Amino acid sequence: MADTAETSTEPIVSTTCGAVRGTVRDGVAAFLGVPFAAPPVGAAAFAAPAPHEPWEGVRDATAYGPTAPQIGYPAPIAALLDNDIELGDDYLNVNVWTPDPSASGLPVMVWIHGGAFARGSNRLAIYAGDTFARDGVVFVGINYRLGIPGFASIEGAPENRGLLDQIAALNWVRDNVAAFGGDPAKVTIVGESAGAMSVASLLSSPRATGLFHGAVMESGNGSAAVAVEDARMVTARLAGLLEITPDAAGFSSVSTELLLKAQTDLALEAQMNPDPALFGRTVIEVGMGIMTLMPVVDGEVLPNLPEASIAAGAGAGVPLMAGWNADEFRFFLVPTGVAAIATEEMARTMIGGYPGAVAELDEHLAAGTAVGDALCMVLTGIAFRNGTVKLAQLRPDEQTYLYEFGVPNDVAGIGAGHAVEIPYVFDHLEAAQRLTGPDAPQAVADAMHSAWVDFVKTGAPGWDRYLTDQTVRRFD
C-alpha cells in the first residue's frame, strides 16, 4: 500500500493488487469499480472468494464496475427504487470515496446494500459516498454474490458464499484503506434490509471478528438465517426446475440466464404457495414470501442464528445503531396492490404463524383501521421493529442505539416505507424524489446524515443508548 500520487483531477493510489486512478470532484476523490476478489465465474461461481490477480500499470477506476447477476425489480417497486444492472465478470468490486487519499487515520464506513439477497449493487446514485467523504469519512461501498451463486445451500460448495464475499471485502478494507486515508482500526459496517441482516450475521460470525469496530442496521433483524436442511429443500426444487443434480457440478453447468429464471420462478411459487412442506419451515417463516435464498446456519460462518450468537456475547464491545421505518411494509404491499385487496381471512393467513400477530391485527381492525393498512402495520413489527428491539435487549450492557424513521411519502402512498430513509441518511434527496416524495424535508436529512457521521466517527450518534422505548430517537 505504497504511495499516493495525486494531480488535481486524477489521483493514483497503490493497492495490494496494483495502482488505481480515480477522479476528484468538489474536493472528494472517488475510486470506482476496484476489484477486491477474483471474478466468481465458471467453476469459481460456487467457490469461496479468491484473491484477485495483480495487474500491471495503472487501472482506471473512474466509472462504476459491473453488478452481480440479477433481474430488475417488479414494475411497481422499480417505479420507486432504481436497480442499476451492469453485467460483467469483475463484479466483486468496491467504490471508495475519500476526502484526501494522502491523509491518515480517517474513520471508515463500509456500506452493504440491500435487495433481499437477490438484487442490488453499489452503483445506485443514492448510495454514492461523496457526502460522507465531504464530512471526513472514507466511504467504501461493496458488492457481493446474490441469489443462487451467493446464498443457495449446495452440496460440494461452501455455505454462505455471499457472506464470505462481504468478509473478503472487509479484509480488503483492512489491507488497503490506509492508502485512501482511512484507519483500518476505525471501520464501521452499515447495511440496509438484506444489508442490515448481513450486518447482524457479520456481528455473529467468528470469521469477521476484528474486521470492524462499529455497526449500523437499517431495517433488519437478527433472525434472517435458515436451517441447512430447509435451504436444501429450496435447492432441490431449483435443481428440479433446471433438470440438474442438486450439487455444485449441476449448478455450475447452467447458464446465468437459466439460473436467474429458475430463481425467479421459484420465488413466485413460494409467494403463491408458501407451504413449509415444500420450502422448509424456516425459509417460509424467515423469508415471509419475499426471500427464498438467504444465509444458512452452517456452524462455521454462522454458528447459530445471529440473534442467538449475539445473546451469547458475539459482537461484544462493538457499538451498534439500529432502527426501522414506521411503515416498512407499505413499500411492499401498497404499490403491488396487495394492501388494497387484502381481506381479513387473507391477513390472518399471512400472519397466523407469528405469536400475538392475529391479536394485534384484531386490535387495529377494532379501531377502524382498514385491513390492508392493519396488515402492513403488523408485518412491519414482525419483520423489522420487533427484531430490532430484541437485538438491543439482548445486548443490555453494550452501546446500542435505536431509532425510528417516520417521514412519509404520501404521494406514493407508502408512508415511511421500506428504504425511504436511505436518501436521508446519505443526504441525497435530490436523487430519490420517487422514493421520498417531492417535498422531502432537508432538515431531517441533515439530522440523520449527521447522526450517521457522528456514529462512524465516535461510536455514538448523539442520543442515549437503548434502555426503554423512551430512548428511541425518532426522525419525523
- The residue with cell 465458471 is 42
Q: Which of 52, 418, 428, 449 is catalytic?
A: 418
Q: Which of 193, 201, 204, 205 is catalytic?
A: 193
> Which triple of cell numbers denotes residue 136?
471526513
Active site residue 229: no
Cβ neighbours of residue 43 under 8 Å, at least 6 residues apart? 252
Active site residue 418: yes
- In total, the chain counts a number of residues equal to 476
Q: Which of 328, 398, 404, 421 is catalytic?
A: 328
- The residue with cell 500500500 is 1
Active site residue 300: no
49: buried, middle or exposed (CB in 10 Å: 19+, 13-18, 0-12)? buried
Cα distance between residue 474 and residue 326, in whole Å: 10
Q: What are phi and psi of 221, to 5 degrees?
A: -165, 175
Of 328, 210, 234, residue with least CA distance to 282: 234
Please, what is the angle between helix 161-176 and helix 194-204, to 10°? 70
Cα distance between residue 284 and residue 294, in whole Å: 11
- The residues that bridge with 192 in the sheet, in sequence order, are 218
User: On the CB side of 221, how many CA atoms lie within 13 Å of its CA?
Assistant: 18
Task: Please list the active-site residues.
Answer: 193, 328, 418
